[in-house]
Structure 1
Amino acid sequence: MDSPKLPIHLRITQDPHDRSGHLRADDGWVEKAWSEETTRVLVVAGNRVEPEGETGVRWRTPDSSPEGIRLLLGDTADGARFAVLTGREEAGATWRDLRGLFPALLADTTEASFLMHAIGMAEWHRATRFCARCGGALMPRAAGHELACAEGHLTFPRTDPAVIMLVTSGEPGTAEERCLLGNHTRWPAPNFSTLAGFVEPGESLDDAVRREVAEEVGVRVGQVDYFGNQPWPLPASLMLGFFARATSTEITVDEDEIREARWFTRAELAAVAESGEIKLPSGISISRSLVEAWYGGELPGSW
């Protein structure tokens, strides 16, 4: 059961499915599982899934599923679970991408785990067509979790680490303490969120936090404290959340990624969220969890 005491981003990852990785290379088991009446299949067309009801997704039987890459998601007490990865043209008008499936992620934590797995792998297959070593075409193996070229070079799924941080200044826990939120140039003006960026090669997570904050808003950061993490297959990120203590407070936005950045006390944040002057990220994101953990409770509105 979901617990209201858990940060919101953890509510969709607290019940991960058994991925049954040891069965992926057992072609006999995989073929037999595909023929079982209890097996269920999630069709992913490009990066879209067919909804069922207000908060569900449609699971098909193998014989009602289209052709495509078969991806073993795992084995359960109720039968094997697969995804079939097909082209975007197979999606119907009502099919949804991961953002459109947020209600389903909150409604069933096990289903959320399957969805994150399936859509993350679908994004990897869409983006990975040729061998990075020889340029040859790639074919799936290991129940869709590896790709191999004719030369035998193997390609494995990748996840890009990204830091996401709530920067704070002032005496912790006081009415004067403030947090820093920014509006990205790709977003509508009311949409504000925590800062974020990808980790570069040879860089520690703490240094990535400090670099990204300095680059985007010109603020210097000292202490960095780990908060938590969240898979974010849009298309292939692992979001690593942090609180970061500012050692300077003057804002100079880069104007390339950040259009505007502002400091908010808790009272100011509650007021602008309530009035709709700013909108905070969706309820399932680790960004929302960071903001509400600092604020000390739930805040209204989202985008």
Structure 2
Amino acid sequence: MRPRLARSVLDRAAHRRADAKWLDEAWHRGRVLVVDPATGHAPVAGNPPRLRYVTAAEAPVGDRLYLGGEDEPYFAVAGAVTDGAGLRELGSDLSDFDVGVLTEALSLVRWHADHLFHTVDGSPTEVASGGWERRSGTRTVWPRTDPAVIVLITDGGDNCLLANGVGWPVDRFSCIAGFVEPGESAEAAVHREVGEEVGVTLRDLAYVASQPWPFPRSLMLGFHGLADPGAPVVVQDDEIAAARWFHRSELAAALAGADAPLRVPPSISIARFLMERWIAA
């Protein structure tokens, strides 16, 4: 099993990024995905849905962001999309190939939209290296990824601890998650976040898998942890509305789509992957 968005499908061919002549030739024979940086939407067509790529001649004017592929190159361009959808809406229905392309394209398009000016001196930046750098004079910035951790907590048996976030529907529960802080390891971040958000101490922790989460630019590092179900659960009330232990049968019913008093995360999330992996064990 792999997380839904952890499916890199293109050879990113990094050696081509600095070859302006090759990139120009590749652009004119490549496939282009238009991504709206404001909504994260891309054009789709068909049933089941698929991404609708365009030719270079059909693409809007904008920076050409090289995603990968040499025999059949793929590019992304930022532009308004009025007849499309995004990963949240269609991630479970798209092919693995389309999911991989859209995840990469969305991450890159949104990074460029947020880095038009250099953070040190405010000077304008320009695209370089096929979209994998922005430059301002002698200064260079590269696409940024923010590491975040997420953990499914169980008691080593048939129960798991899930939380309901502030502002969520009251029946929606998920895993504990949070960003890794400066100077902190991923494992330390898991222990800290769990302690802060639900007041529980983990007695064991194991890394499971990772996946990109381009909302806007995170890398989710998934873990499985063990805790004592008899320990008091004390929520951090500015982030967590409620947290409680669920039996395996309750979670299995919700994952199966049954009419259950528990709503689980969408299929593209690594939280869902961690839950399904535990149920299947």
* Fold equivalence (TM over 0.5): yes
1:135, distance to aligned residue in structure 2 (A) = 1.5
> Residues 76, 108 of structure 1: CA spacing in aligned structure 2 closer, same or farther, 3 A cutoff?
farther
Give 1:21's aligned residue: 14
Give 1:67's aligned residue: 61
- CA distance, structure 2, for counterparts of residue 268 and residue 201 of structure 1: 37
Q: Which moved more, 1:21-30 or 1:121-130?
A: 121-130
1:1-27 deviation per Cα after TM superposition (whole angstroms, max 9, x unaligned): xxxxx24x15x5345210111111100
Give 1:166's aligned residue: 152
Q: Which ranges in structure 1 are unaligned for 5 or more consecutive residues?
A: 1-5, 298-303
1:191-213 deviation per Cα after TM superposition (whole angstroms, max 9, x unaligned): 11111000001111111001001
- CA distance, structure 2, for counterparts of residue 266 and residue 91 of structure 1: 41
Contact 1:13 1:109 in 2 (8 A): no
Pairing partner for 2:216 from 228, 232, 235: 235
Give 2:23's aligned residue: 30
1:212-259 deviation per Cα after TM superposition (whole angstroms, max 9, x unaligned): 011111111121101111111110010100011115621111111111
> Residues 238, 40 of structure 1: CA spacing in aligned structure 2 closer, same or farther, 3 A cutoff?
same
Contact 2:36 2:42 in 1 (8 A): yes
Q: Secondary structure at the match of 2:105?
A: helix
Q: How does 1:233-272 map to 2 (within 5 A)?
A: 233-247=214-228, 249-270=231-252
- CA distance, structure 1, for counterparts of residue 172 and residue 275 of structure 2: 14
Contact 2:34 2:78 in 1 (8 A): yes
Give 2:96's aligned residue: 109
- CA distance, structure 1, for counterparts of residue 125 and residue 112 of structure 2: 10
Contact 1:221 1:244 in 2 (8 A): yes
1:51, distance to aligned residue in structure 2 (A) = 1.0
Pairing partner for 2:31 from 35, 40, 45: 40
- CA distance, structure 2, for counterparts of residue 231 and residue 271 of structure 1: 27
Pairing partner for 1:91 from 81, 89, 92: 81
> Residues 58, 196 of structure 1: CA spacing in aligned structure 2 closer, same or farther, 3 A cutoff?
same
- CA distance, structure 1, for counterparts of residue 253 and residue 104 of structure 2: 38
1:264-283 deviation per Cα after TM superposition (whole angstroms, max 9, x unaligned): 12134345663321111112
* Structure 2 counterpart of 1:51, one-letter code: V
Aligned pairs, number: 275
Contact 1:179 1:263 in 2 (8 A): yes
- CA distance, structure 1, for counterparts of residue 121 and residue 179 of structure 2: 27
Q: How does 1:137-156 map to 2 (within 5 A)?
A: 137-149=124-136, 151-156=137-142
- CA distance, structure 2, for counterparts of residue 178 and residue 167 of structure 1: 9
- CA distance, structure 1, for counterparts of residue 254 and residue 36 of structure 2: 39
Matched, 1:128 2:115: yes
Q: Secondary structure at the match of 2:195?
A: helix
Contact 1:133 1:153 in 2 (8 A): no
Q: Secondary structure at the match of 2:210?
A: strand
TM-score, length-normalised on structure 1?
0.85
- CA distance, structure 1, for counterparts of residue 250 and residue 89 of structure 2: 30
Q: Secondary structure at the match of 1:114?
A: helix
- CA distance, structure 2, for counterparts of residue 32 and residue 269 of structure 1: 52
1:150-194 deviation per Cα after TM superposition (whole angstroms, max 9, x unaligned): x3200100101100001112xx34xxx311011111311111111
Q: Secondary structure at the match of 1:124?
A: helix
Contact 2:13 2:70 in 1 (8 A): no
1:295, distance to aligned residue in structure 2 (A) = 1.9
TM-score, length-normalised on structure 2?
0.92
Percent identity of the aligned residues? 40
* Structure 1 counterpart of 2:46, one-letter code: G
